[in-house]
Amino acid sequence: EVQLLESGGGLVQPGGSLRLSCAASGFTFSSYAMSWVRQAPGKGLEWVSAISGSGGSTYYADSVKGRFTISRDNSKNTLYLQMNSLRAEDTAVYYCAKLTDTYSSSYGPPFDYWGQGTLVTVSS
């Protein structure tokens, strides 16, 4: 059974940093691209970042580029999101998600498994 368990959320002041983790199990972690998606309170889904199975390719939404860094440790079956220079508008539930396949320049696969999310609150 595929399981994704996020951790690391919490309350942080504007300008602060936080690192989220997503522990994966039930599948061959290194074979699949992974992603982070967030959802502000009462709002819709917003894609944040993605990383290939090997970790050699990464993509970011414009809203987080230069502030967030996605990475993975395939030996630990864990996905990370390092968030720096946090702003109030980064307040959201952050989900990690598994992609069904690798992405390419012409195709972005769907996200077939999601974690339950971890809440990040940026406030003074």
Residues that bind other proteins (CB under 8 A): 35, 37, 44-47, 50, 59-62, 95, 100, 103, 105-112, 114-117
**Minimum CB–partner distance for residue 110 and other proteins (Å):** 4
67 versus 124: smaller Cβ distance to other proteins: 67
The tokens for 94 are 């952050």
Cβ–Cβ < 8 Å for 84, 93: no
Residues constituting the chain: 124
Q: Where are the alpha helices (DSSP H) in 20-60?
A: none
**Minimum CB–partner distance for residue 53 and other proteins (Å):** 16
75 versus 110: smaller Cβ distance to other proteins: 110
Q: Which amino acid is at 120?
A: V
31 versus 100: smaller Cβ distance to other proteins: 100
Cβ–Cβ < 8 Å for 120, 18: yes
**Minimum CB–partner distance for residue 62 and other proteins (Å):** 7
